[in-house]
Amino acid sequence: MGRAVGKQLYCFDFETESDCDLKACGSVVYSHHYSTEVICLCWNRVGEPDVGEWVPGALESTLTQLVEHQDTVFMAHNVGFEKAIWRNIMMPRYGYPDIPDDRWHDTMAVCAEKGLPLGLDEACRALRLPEQKDKAGSKFTIGLSKHTFDKTGMSKVNRPEDWRDIVIAYCHQDVAAEIALHKRIGWMEPKEREVWLLDQTINARGVAVDLAFVTAAQTIVRDAIAPLASQFMDATGLKFTQTAKLLAWFKARGLHIPNMQKGTLDSILGSDEHGHDDDIDWELFVPDMPEDLRRLLKIRQLIGSASIKKLDKMLECTWHGIAYNLLQYHGAGTGRWAGRLLQPQNFPRGVGRDMDHVVSAIMTGDHRYVDAVIGPPVEVVVGALRHALVSRPGKVFVVGDFAGIEARVVLACAGQHDKTALMAAGENPYIDMANQIFNRTDITKTDDIFEYTIGKNTVLGCGFGMGKDKFHLRYCPLQSLSFAERVIQTYRKEWAPEVPKLWYGLEAAVVKTVHDRTAHEAYGVEFWMERDGWLTARLPSGRKLWYYDPKPCTVHVPWDIAILKNAYTYGAQKTGHWQRVSGYGGLITENVVQALARDLMVHAMFICERENMPIVLTVHDEIVCEVDECGHDWAKMLQQIMEDRPQWAIDMQVPVTAECWQGDRYRK
DNA sequence: CGGCAATGCGCC
DNA sequence: AAACGGCGCATTGCCG
């Protein structure tokens, strides 16, 4: 079941034209758009000369036979697109039967699993395949869409006469490239195929968006920003989004600002809205700033949030109140999902205001009212963005969050069992850490906020080799550097001395594997050079992490120019493009730990599905299910599910706890 | 002018 | 005895 191997495999590729912007709206909205039309569907049976094509109105039965043959599996690169076209155009308009999820195979999912770029063209290039995607053809086809007319100058009247033939030829070339890619990368691991099928189910369910809430929020933002933006323009001649130019403008008036980030502005203005004086860097505070400049910075701070763009995005990518395909399977190299379209994984957290109060105020659409009863309207809306996601009528969200999961996994992985036992016993590890750092025994969460926060940040942040400089900059810029150094040393030497051994142990194993091309194991992770140019790390969970094109190298150690040590690099996607990355202990540890935390998620996700708690969203260490509204204590049930550990996690002694709640609106 | 890279900013 | 990593989207700015 679910296996696509051994069946008749057909590569399947649609070319379409539309006024709808596919990238912005997603494949579901695109496929439903009135203007979207199929130009052609081309296919080729993998390993056979069996090539075919379909165009609207074609009278032939080959396609019907293919689809009705239950042993036919259809392969595409990003099948979300092909599925949407099939189900929302081919079925309703042309009467074809459905192709169920388990008869699709996605080469993009395999690329994701094996650490390759997700784009077809980028993947083929990274693998140096002779068969490549036809870039000119792609540009031509995209140019057929009306929303690009102004850019390409092509329109229905001046298209070349043979434009359909050009597109069909391009489509066949894409099919050839996809087949070459498939032959090189093969199938998914069977267990990951099951995860991917679940991913497809979740993406097809979608999440409901409260459209009335979104439009009310848009009204508030628009009305609140307008007067402030024009004041700002009058004073500076600049739009408040032109960050670099603004910094120069302020500099010319004697005010040197490192950046326009929220925290920086809080510090410079010497006040933040919520009285967290801890967060303020008083060295940046400018007490004698001219009032006009202060006023401008204040405006920038109030309306400069880019997050409000999400409101537009929510409407754009929603079809009849549901946003589909918000998650990318294995979007991160470690197997975590990535967010797409309205990006549900980076909603601002807000500041813990009363949700019902905030939502009802926003629903009025009146920015003055929001200002009067809650606070600065734009800031209120930004903090409430996640509340736009709601459960469908008659349903309720049940949401669970793994507590400090990566810190727990790294300690368990390292064999730091005194600390995992402490967590398993329900004690607070952050207090334990803080007591050790400050040489005390009586620190509490409420009475020693600074000490507690340092303890927490140390436990959560230091498991992957962070150094004193980074810790200082990030968590305690007002303290001395030697304080940060002491914190780091306390973690590494006293609190969790097994953890640095984990970094160096994993590094030694992976470096040996890349250099001598034999298997090496450390801490339950087995490194191995696969055929065809991959390094893999088999995790205690049984899953493999894949690193493409690993190469041995040597580097100078930082403390002695004369000493060389073995190291390695590999190809990976970084800041949006394919480049070589240097591996090191902290990094490989981070990858392994993040991957294991993901596998704990997946374990819980399968149980949720089995127990009739359909998942609609995941956010790294958080599961969102949508269940029938009834008297049932769903939160309790989800907690039991998430705290059920797979055997490998029991063996590793990972202490797992989950915090769960239920409600009809998404919140933190 | 479009394409691409870098940057800023949100999250875990 | 060094190194925190993983994302996506919007915007800006540079280059051809």
Determine the distance between A337 (CA) and C7 (C1') in angstroms. Answer: 9
DSSP designation for A21:
-
| pLDDT of the residue at A145 | 66
- Same domain for A241 and A354, yes or no, is yes
Determine the protein residue whose CA lies at the shortest distance from the C1' of B10: A346
How many Å apart are CA A640 and CA A629, to the nearest integer? 19
| pLDDT of the residue at A344 | 93
Question: The CATH number of the domain where A109 resides is what?
Answer: 3.30.420.10
Determine the distance between A380 (CA) and B2 (C1') in angstroms. Answer: 37
Residue A50 has pLDDT above 90, yes or no: no
- Same domain for A443 and A510, yes or no, is no
Is A115 among the domain residues? yes
Residue A301 has pLDDT above 80, yes or no: no
A236 touches strand C (CB under 7 A): no
Establish how many alpha carbons lie within 13 A of residue A424's alpha carbon, considering only the half-sphere containing its beta carbon. 16
| pLDDT of the residue at A270 | 66
A558 touches strand C (CB under 7 A): yes
Span A361-408, pLDDT tens digits: 999 999 999 999 999 999 899 999 999 999 999 999 999 999 999 999
Mean pLDDT taken over chain A: 89
Q: Residues A50, A178, A115, A332: is their CA dihedral positive or negative?
A: negative
Determine the distance between A306 (CA) and C10 (C1') in angstroms. Answer: 7
Of A467, A496, A525, the last residue of a domain is A496
Q: Which residues contact A323 (CB under 8 A, 6 or more apart)?
A: A26, A206, A207, A208, A209, A314, A317, A341, A342
Determine the distance between A386 (CA) and B11 (C1') in angstroms. Answer: 12
Strand B bases within 7 angstroms of protein beta carbons:
1-3, 5-12
Strand C neighbours among A 611-640, CB < 7 A: 620
| pLDDT of the residue at A497 | 96
Is A653 among the domain residues? yes
Taking CA atoms, A442 is separated from A230, A435, A447, A479, A484, in Å, by 54, 7, 10, 22, 21
Output residues with Cβ under 7 Å from nucleic strand B: A 139, 150-151, 243, 259-262, 305-307, 343, 345-349, 575-577, 619-622, 668
- Same domain for A247 and A285, yes or no, is yes
- Same domain for A514 and A471, yes or no, is no
| pLDDT of the residue at A416 | 96
Is A595 among the domain residues? yes
A561 touches strand C (CB under 7 A): no
Residue A273 has pLDDT above 50, yes or no: no
How many Å apart are CA A17 and CA A234, to the nearest integer? 43
- Same domain for A164 and A296, yes or no, is no
A349 touches strand C (CB under 7 A): no
pTM of the model: 0.93
- Same domain for A227 and A367, yes or no, is yes
Is A169 among the domain residues? yes
How many Å apart are CA A167 and CA A151, to the nearest integer? 19
Strand C bases within 7 angstroms of protein beta carbons:
1-13
- Same domain for A363 and A407, yes or no, is no
**What is the domain extent for residue A309?**
209-389
| pLDDT of the residue at A230 | 82
How many Å apart are CA A144 and CA A158, to the nearest integer? 11
Alpha helices in A95-242 (DSSP H): 107-113, 120-126, 135-143, 149-152, 163-185, 190-205, 211-236
Residue A321 has pLDDT above 90, yes or no: yes
Q: Which of A207, A195, A223, A603 is nearest to A409 (CA)?
A: A603
Determine the protein residue whose CA lies at the shortest distance from the C1' of C5: A590
Closest nucleotide relative to residue A260's CA, C1' based: B8
What's chain A's length in residues?
668
Is A584 among the domain residues? yes
Determine the distance between A135 (CA) and C14 (C1') in angstroms. Answer: 23
Is A44 among the domain residues? yes
Q: Which residues contact A357 (CB under 8 A, 6 or more apart)?
A: A373, A374
Which pLDDT band, with edges at 50, 70 and 90, does A146 fall under? low
Strand C neighbours among A 389-448, CB < 7 A: none
- Same domain for A30 and A162, yes or no, is yes
| pLDDT of the residue at A284 | 54
- Same domain for A327 and A406, yes or no, is no
What does the angle CA A314 – CA A372 – CA A220 come to, to the nearest 5 degrees? 25
Strand C neighbours among A 100-129, CB < 7 A: none
Determine the distance between A252 (CA) and C13 (C1') in angstroms. Answer: 20
Quote the percentage of chain A above a pLDDT of 90.
67
> What are A408's two structure tokens?
């727990």
> What are A434's two structure tokens?
């803080």
Strand C neighbours among A 279-338, CB < 7 A: 306, 309, 312-313, 328, 331-334, 336, 338
How many Å apart are CA A190 and CA A2, to the nearest integer? 8
DSSP designation for A442:
-
Backbone dihedral angles phi then psi of residue A663, each to the nearest 5 degrees: 180, 170
Is A367 among the domain residues? yes
- Same domain for A520 and A606, yes or no, is yes
Span A566-607, pLDDT tens digits: 999 999 988 778 888 999 999 999 999 999 999 999 999 999
Query: How would you classify residue A394: left for phi > 0, otherwise alpha for psi between -120 and 50, otherwise beta?
Result: left
Of A496, A513, A536, the last residue of a domain is A496
Quote the percentage of chain A above a pLDDT of 70.
93
How many Å apart are CA A103 and CA A69, to the nearest integer? 11
Is A305 among the domain residues? yes
How many Å apart are CA A192 and CA A367, to the nearest integer? 48
More confident residue, A303 or A539: A539
Question: The CATH number of the domain where A571 resides is what?
Answer: 3.90.1600
Determine the distance between A495 (CA) and C1 (C1') in angstroms. Answer: 19
How many Å apart are CA A25 and CA A17, to the nearest integer? 14
Task: Count the domains in chain A.
Answer: 4
Which pLDDT band, with edges at 50, 70 and 90, does A158 fall under? low
- Same domain for A184 and A244, yes or no, is no
Q: Which of A406, A410, A412, A408 is nearest to A428 (CA)?
A: A408
How many Å apart are CA A301 and CA A260, to the nearest integer? 8
Alpha helices in A440-558 (DSSP H): 449-461, 468-475, 481-489, 498-516
Residue A278 has pLDDT above 50, yes or no: no
- Same domain for A60 and A139, yes or no, is yes
A461 touches strand C (CB under 7 A): yes
Of A448, A473, A496, the last residue of a domain is A496
User: Are A54 and A40 a contacting pair, CB within 8 Å?
Assistant: yes
Closest nucleotide relative to residue A492's CA, C1' based: C1
What does the angle CA A22 – CA A23 – CA A29 come to, to the nearest 5 degrees? 40
Which pLDDT band, with edges at 50, 70 and 90, does A621 fall under? very high
